[in-house]
Amino acid sequence: MDLHILDHRLRVTSICKNGLVNFTHPLIKLIFLRNRARCKFFSLTETPENYTVVLDEEGFKELQPSEHLLVESSVWLPLNVVSNGNSSSSSQAVGVTKIAKSVIAPLAQQHVSVFMLSTYQTDFILVREKDLAVVINTLEEEFNIYREVGGEYSAVLSQDVCNGFQKNGKEAPQLTVHPLLIPQNQFCVMSLDPDTLPAIATTLIDVLFYSNSPKEGALPSQDLDCIKFFSFSLIDGYVSLVMDTEAQRQFPADLLFTSSSRELWRMVRIGGQPLGFGKPTFNPSSERPTINECGIVAQISQPLADNNISAYYISTFSFDHALVPEEDIVSVTEMLQQHRKEPAC
C-alpha cells in the first residue's frame, strides 16, 4: 500500500457557539465560493459544545482573530492511505478500521497524536508537521511513502528526514480510559456533486447556523438521548456530509447520494469531559492550546479492527466520534466497555 502526504498545511480551530455570528460570512464564503477563497481543504463540524473548523492556510486567512476563536498552535499535515488499486471485497471493513493496525496503532506506540477526519470518500490522518520524521520512520516498513508537492508525488525515504531518530521501542503510551456516550441518533454518511451546492444553500445554512442547539458550554450527560452533530467537508473538490436522519430529511433526496446499501450508522462519542485540545492544559496567557494526549483513536479503532467492524472516525476540538453500523452498536458497546476493563499488556 501507498501512504500519501498531501500538499496541505492545516490549522485546527474551534469557534464557540455564541461567537458564531462573527464568522458566518467567512464560513459561507469558504463553503459556497471556494474559487474566491482559494481554500482546498475545509471541514466544519458542529457538536453540542462548539464548531470545529479544519482548513488550509488559504482558508485560515479568512478567519479573523477573535476571543471566540481558539487556534491549536501546530500546523498539521493530512495523510491518506491508497490501496494501489486493489479492490476490496464486500466483507472487508471500511473507514478507520482498515488503517487501525497499520497506521493508528504504530503511531500511538511512538507517542504521535493523530487527528482523524473520515469522509464519504476516504480517511484523512492528520499529524503535526513537527512529527513527520517520526511518522515516516515508523510507517516506512509497511508503506511506500510519497509526498505531494504541486500536484506531483515523489518518494520519501526515512534517511531524508529522520537525522538519527530512534524508535520508541515497545514502551506504550500512558493511556487515559475515557467514558463512552452512545446517543440514539441514526446517522448517514453522504456526498453530493459540488456543483449542486447552490441548490441546497438555504437548507445547509439553516442547518449549520440556525438550528436549535444546546446552550453554550453545555456538556452531554449520560442520559442524553440525542446530540447535535453535523459535519461538512469540501476537500480537493469532493463534498462529504455526516448528519443524523432528522437533518437529512430537510435536504432534497435527489441531490444526496450514499452507498447502495443506504446504511445507517450509530455514534460512539468518546470522552466525559473535553479531550485533547479542549483540555485546560495550555498556558492561560497564550489562548493557544496544544494536545498532549495520544492513543485515543487507537483505543477505539483497534478493537473494531480486531472484530472487522467498519467505522468512520471524526475528531473534533473537544471530543472524538466513531460511527459504526447500526446493527453492530450493541456488540460494539459491549466490546469497548469490556476492552476498558481489561488490564493493559
Domains of the chain: 2-181+267-341 (3.30.2130.10)
Question: Which is it for strands 238-244 and 50-56: parallel, antiparallel or unpaired?
Answer: unpaired
- Residue located via cell numbers 477563497: 37
How many angstroms separate the CA atoms of 246 and 322, rounded?
19
Confidence label for 269 from pLDDT (cuts 50, 70 and 90): very high
CA angle 8, 269, 81 (to 5 degrees): 35
In percent, the amount of the chain with pLDDT more than 90 equals: 66
pLDDT, residue 37, reads 80
What mean pLDDT do residues 215-227 have? 56
Distance in angstroms (rounded) separating the CA atoms of residues 200 and 191: 12
Cα separation values, 223 from 64, 214, 296, 313, Å: 37, 15, 23, 23
Q: Are 6 and 82 in contact (CB under 8 A)?
A: no
Q: What is the mean pLDDT of residues 8-15?
A: 97
> Given the C-alpha cell 469531559, which residue does it identify?
273
Q: How confident is the model at residue 260 (pLDDT cuts 50, 70, 90)?
A: low
Rounded distance between C-alpha atoms, residue 99 and residue 308, angstroms? 11
CA distance 248 to 242: 9
User: 278 is written with which cell numbers?
Assistant: 479542549
DSSP 184: -
How many residues can be counted in the chain?
Answer: 345
Written as one letter, the residue type at 274 is: P
Beta bridge partners of 95: 311
Q: Which residue has the cell 483513536?
A: 297
Q: Where are the alpha helices (DSSP H) in the chain?
A: 24-32, 34-37, 57-60, 105-109, 132-139, 201-209, 245-248, 296-306, 329-341
On whether the CB atoms of residues 115 and 37 are closer than 8 A, the answer is no
Residue 172: the pLDDT is: 52
Mean pLDDT over all residues of the chain? 85
Distance, in Å, from the CA atom of 193 to the CA atom of 4, rounded to the nearest integer, reads 25
Range 40-60 average pLDDT = 96
- Where is average pLDDT lowest: 7-21, 167-181, 193-207? 167-181
Cell numbers 514502551: residue: 171
Residue type, 263: E
Measured torsion, CA atoms of residues 107, 108, 111, 114, in degrees rounded to the nearest 10: 70
Does the pLDDT at position 5 exceed 90?
A: yes
What b/e readout covers 57-91, taking b as 16+ CB neighbours within 10 angstroms? Answer: ebbbebbeeeebbbbbbbebbbbbbeeeeeeeeee
Average pLDDT over residues 271-284: 51
**The residue to which cell 487556534 is assigned:** 71
Residue 344 has pLDDT above 80, yes or no: no
103-112, 175-184, 295-304, 322-331, range with the lowest pLDDT: 175-184
